[in-house]
């Protein structure tokens, strides 16, 4: 029997909550910074970058995040980022990932929407051929930019409608950004066949999650950890099979949760709420999807069998065609059986 980290590293997985720019590792950021040397505050040297990525607090995290967004200036940068993120996911045996992309940020900084969408699509197809990983997009509204950003994100989604686009999201801060105001945009996105995946209940209480369900038709919730404070909500999520995308380390880094030991993952699982384990902005939070599975295993007191079950739960929560979901689940089964030998 292999040890747990080795088991996790080889386990076929899906990743459902990971941000496109937030996945830029120091290696990728260094490449982008080198392309724009002298025109960015971001160091191009990977060692200096490690210090640059050491966050003092959440405000500092946002500052660094935005300086990385500023490094993405043309379609070639978008392509490079997307293809390299896919490479790093595939190295962790991720077979399928739903990447949260914020087209508004890039279009706002001067990359035309058609060029942006063409770059992510071309990188998606190339990554599938190069690394055997399938990528899909969730276009999300940066909530802090308000309704104009919602309108523009919807327009890009519906007018460009890249083949890999499957869902519509809402990110950014929750405090001071009520979910119900975005209802008309989610209504139109859903009418056009996109799935609804807003962030909710990360830094605010269960009422935000109820809003996301009732007003935005959420089919999965980004984070949603404050559901643990509301037994009725947990029952609702369990009965309707509405999964939460749980990102434990992110919650500690953003101080949504005081420490990993206080993370509500065990209560959510205990209540039968479907969850997937995810990494959010992994290099920025000093984690990986594999690390998040290890964290979950520790919080839940589970071994390889339980970890494989978590991987299957994530497959069930994915917006995958049934045949594709069955194929990845079968791969997990086969891996588990071979590891037990």
Nearer to Zn ion, 26 or 143 (CB): 143
Question: Cα–Cα distance between 335 and 341 in angstroms, integer?
Answer: 10
d(CA 251, CA 259): 8
Least distance in angstroms from the C-beta of 140 to Zn ion: 8
- Enumerate residues 6+ apart whose C-beta is below 8 A from 236: 213, 242
Of 31 and 140, CB closest to Zn ion:
140
Number of residues that bind Zn ion (CB under 5 A): 1
Cβ atoms of residues 248 and 295 within 8 Å: yes
Q: Minimum Å distance from CB 137 to Zn ion?
A: 14
Active site residue 202: yes
Identify the CA nearest to 99 among candidates 5, 10, 170, 15.
Answer: 15
The distance of closest approach from Cβ of residue 202 to Zn ion in the complex, given in angstroms and rounded to an integer, is 8
> Is residue 20 classed as helix, strand or coil in its secondary structure?
coil
Residue whose C-beta lies closest to Zn ion: 280
DSSP notation for 218-246: -SSEEE-GGGGG-HHHHHHHHHHT--EEE
Site string for Zn ion, 237-276 (x = CB under 5 A): ----------------------------------------
Of 30 and 150, CB closest to Zn ion: 150
CA trace torsion 294, 298, 304, 306 (10° rounding)? -110
Q: In the bound complex, what is the minimum distance in angstroms from residue 244's beta carbon to Zn ion?
A: 12
Instruction: Mark 26-45 with x for binding to Zn ion (rule: CB under 5 A) and - for no binding.
Output: --------------------
- Segment 271 to 310, residues that bind Zn ion, using CB under 5 A: 280
Helix (H, G, I), strand (E, B) or coil at 138: strand
Q: Which of 31, 202, 219, 245 is catalytic?
A: 202
Active-site residues, by number, are 202
Where do contacts with Zn ion occur on this chain (CB under 5 A)?
Answer: 280
């Amino acid at each position: 029997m292999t040890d747990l980290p080795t088991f996790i590293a080889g386990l076929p997985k899906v990743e459902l909550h990971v941000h496109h720019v937030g996945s830029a590792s120091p290696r990728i950021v260094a490449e982008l910074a080198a392309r724009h040397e002298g025109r960015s505050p971001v160091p191009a040297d990977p060692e200096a970058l490690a210090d640059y990525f050491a966050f003092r607090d959440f405000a500092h995290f946002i500052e660094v995040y935005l300086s990385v967004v500023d490094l993405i200036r043309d379609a070639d940068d978008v392509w490079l980022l997307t293809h390299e993120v896919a490479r790093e996911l595939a190295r962790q045996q991720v077979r399928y990932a739903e990447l949260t992309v914020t087209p508004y940020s890039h279009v706002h900084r001067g990359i035309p929407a058609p060029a942006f969408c063409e770059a992510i699509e071309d990188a998606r197809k190339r990554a599938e051929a190069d690394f055997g990983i399938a990528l899909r997009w969730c276009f999300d509204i940066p909530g802090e930019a308000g309704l104009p950003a919602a309108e523009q994100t919807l327009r890009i989604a519906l007018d460009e409608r890249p083949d890999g686009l499957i869902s519509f999201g809402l990110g950014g801060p929750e405090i001071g950004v009520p979910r119900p105001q975005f209802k008309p945009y989610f209504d139109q996105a859903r009418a056009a066949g996109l799935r609804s995946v807003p962030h909710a209940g990360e830094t605010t209480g269960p009422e935000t999650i109820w809003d996301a369900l009732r007003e935005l038709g959420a089919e999965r919730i980004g984070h949603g950890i404050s559901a643990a404070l509301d037994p009725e909500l947990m029952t609702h999520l369990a009965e309707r099979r509405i999964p939460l995308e749980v990102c434990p380390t992110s919650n500690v880094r953003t101080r949504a949760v005081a420490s990993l030991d206080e993370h509500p993952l065990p209560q959510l699982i205990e209540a039968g709420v479907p969850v997937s384990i995810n990494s959010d902005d992994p290099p920025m939070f000093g984690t990986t999807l594999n690390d998040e599975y290890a964290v979950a295993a520790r919080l839940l007191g589970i071994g390889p069998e339980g970890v494989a079950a978590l991987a299957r739960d994530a497959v069930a929560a994915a917006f995958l065609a049934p045949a594709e979901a069955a194929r990845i689940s079968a791969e997990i089964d086969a891996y588990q059986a071979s590891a037990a030998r």
